Structure 1
Amino acid sequence: MTFTEVGDRVWVARYEWFDANVSVVAGERGLVVVDTHASTAAGRRVLDDVRHLGAGDVVAVVNTHAHLDHCFGNAAFREADPAVPVHAHEQALAELRDFADSGRQATYAGEPADPRDEEVRSTEIVLPDHTFSSAAVLDLGDRVLELVHPGPAHTSGDLVVLVPDARVLIAGDLVEESAPPAFGPDSFPMQWPLSLDIVLGLTTGASTVVPGHGAVVDREFVEVQRNELGIVAETIRDLAGRGVPVDEALAAGTWPWEERYLATAVRLGYEHLPRSQKRLPLI
């Protein structure tokens, strides 16, 4: 896969499997790789592609969150350099540790016929060893990277990577271009719009934003997606406040995306709302 430069010494490669983006940021002290793809084997391919850039050695890895398509390639980078630090939010570490300890890796929830099922199952989960709670800085000598946790959204442990001098923000799955945002069972649909407000505060009209999946976008795209997420949250709040039962909410609401993308969001939204904002269904 070819890396494309999207800002000064910031490259992105879009991998077909999971339609996942991997980013590389260069400084005088070396390269930072943001996300490592979905298995050890996939991580090795990413590392080969990074080496073909000829831009330097990898000095750090960042995981934007704990989902396998963003961090299961960590082991490949540790094979190449046992001392390479892996950075993540502290909650992402907790989620990934729970995943490893529970043995869920052995029951990878892919399609039964997925040809890469065994590739994922055999992957060694390498946990992040450098974590933070709100924000952290990576010093590359001639530039710094800012790691920011904007709050729970796609997961409880999301982070974004800001490259201020290049006007690039790497958003992980807080932003998705190739499909609507993914509401998994560990997502926070009522808080996601607020997290994107913080992300927007880190950008300007001249910013380039790298989503977790799909093509690179601009600030206007993020504004639109934030507003769509806001519609989802406020529609859930309105329906629950009017006493519409959760199992009728999808049919009763007007949504920005097809209902098949929103069943989990509605269920979680009802669960996460405080009792004061919910009315008992009318009989």
Structure 2
Amino acid sequence: MGFTEIADRVWVARYDWFDVNVTLVGGDRGLLVVDTHASEPAARGVVDDVRRLAAGLPAPGVVGVVNTHEHFDHTFGNGVFRHEYGDIPIHAHEVAAERTLPAGERIKTLYDTEPHDPHRDEVQRTTIVPADHTFSSAVALDLGDRMVELVHPGRGHTGGDLVVRVPDADVVLAGDLVEESAARNGVPGFGADCYPMDWPLSLDIVLGLTGAATVIVPGHGAPVDREFVEEQRNAIGVVAETIRDLATRGVPVDQALDAAQWPYPREELEHAVRRGYEQLPRSQRRLPLV
């Protein structure tokens, strides 16, 4: 479908593979690309869409890339954008930049076990290019007639999540801290590198960057409003507090999923429970734990 303008000079393209979003933010210096898709061939398709959109713009070039976190479906197109637009800066949180290469190599290894996956070869042939412009808390990027803010609200989906705020357009790009996609039934990505005990507080920071009319773009799926994010924050908060309660009562981690009611399907929460138990200080855990 290509890029759709959701606010003044903010365009989102939603791609079938992973139902992932790539966003463009335009200024009079050029375009900022937020996330770059999951392989070099996929990214070349994104570049084609960027060029079709940019042909009618006063400043049609891409002047920078932002990765909302290190996962391959958001970073494996970095090299293509470098090839097409020169030595442009690639921005990410410092933790995400550090983890992009090892996270990508792990994914390539996982694809070894998926010989019939139609994307296997293109993922494994992709050259991983981590971000080279990093920050720890927040940074502002100058696009000429507008500023774009990159904010690390804390850990959640990963340890290096960032959100992109476009203040004059009242848009926040939330990456995978917010999940809308029907491909996952709207379940947040509680992966093996998530931080479920931090995630609700990180979303509180994100909500503090929004107002009643703010458009929030998740990493996957359709744009949402503040109320959607509040509801998802509360559900993730239930996950975190349920983990805390179970651990405090001494329920073993391998029994925790069956010992409580959860706001999401149990099969989606195996990593969340294990990671949550690991995150809790010893003072909040009782024996027997395994």
TM-score, normalised via structure 2 length: 0.94
Is 1:197 the counterpart of 2:204? The answer is: yes
**Structure 1 residues 95-137: Cα deviation after superposition (integer angstroms, max 9, x where no partner):** 013346xx43541447331111000000011121110000011
Counterpart AA for 1:41? P
Deviation at 1:94, TM superposition (A): 0.7
Q: 1:192 & 1:141 partners in 2: Cα distance?
A: 33
| In structure 2, distance between residues paired with 1:41 and 1:53 | 19
**Residue aligning to 2:84:** 80
TM-score of the two chains, using structure 1 as the length reference: 0.96
Alignment of structure 1 residues 103-142 onto 2, 5 Å:
103-104=105-106, 106-109=108-111, 111-142=114-145
Deviation at 1:86, TM superposition (A): 0.5
Matched AA of 1:4: T
CA distance in 2, matches of 1:180, 1:165: 30
- Counterpart of 1:30, as a letter, is G
Which of 156, 177, 183 aligns to 2:180? It is: 177
CA–CA distance in 2 between the matches of 1:176 and 1:72?
20
- For residue 2 of structure 2, what is the aligned residue in structure 1? 2
Q: Choose the corresponding residue for 2:166, options 156, 160, 163.
A: 163
| Separation (CA, whole Å) in 2 of partners of 1:98 and 1:104 | 6
Alignment coverage as a number of residue pairs: 280
The residue type equivalent to 2:147 in the other structure is V
Q: Which runs of 5+ in 1 are unaligned?
A: none
Q: Deviations over 1:155-185 (max 9, x none)?
A: 1111000000000000000000012101111
Q: Secondary structure at the match of 1:38?
A: coil
Distance of 2:114 and 2:206 partners within structure 1: 34
In structure 1, the residue matched to 2:63 is 59
What code does the residue aligned with 2:192 have?
P
- Give the drift of 1:141: 1.1
Q: The residue matched to 1:175 in structure 2 has which SS?
A: coil
Aligned partners of 1:108, 1:227: CA distance in 2, in Å?
32
Deviations 1:172-210 (A, max 9, x none): 000000121011111101000010000000000110000
Equivalent residue of 1:170, what SS?
strand
Distance across 2 between alignment mates of 1:249 and 1:259: 10
Question: In structure 2, how many angstroms separate the alpha carbons of the residues matched to 1:237 and 1:112?
Answer: 40
Amino acid at match of 2:40: T
Q: Distance in 2 between matches of 1:182 and 1:115?
A: 23
Is 1:33 paired with 2:33? yes
Give the secondary-structure state (helix, strand or coil) at the position aligned to 2:178. strand
**Structure 2 unmatched ranges of 5 or more:** none
How far apart in 2 are the matches of 1:8 and 1:247? Answer: 49
Cross-structure match for 1:251 = 258
Match of 2:230 in 1: 223
How big is the shift at 1:15? Answer: 0.2
8 A contact 1:151–1:158 mirrored in 2:
yes
Show the counterpart of 2:154: 151
The answer to whether the Cα contact below 8 Å between 2:20 and 2:221 also exists between their aligned partners in 1 is yes
**Cα contact 1:108–1:121 (8 A) shared by 2:** no
SS at match of 1:217: coil
Q: Give me the identity figure in percent.
A: 64
Residue in 1 that maps onto 2:219: 212
Secondary structure of the equivalent of 2:68?
A: coil
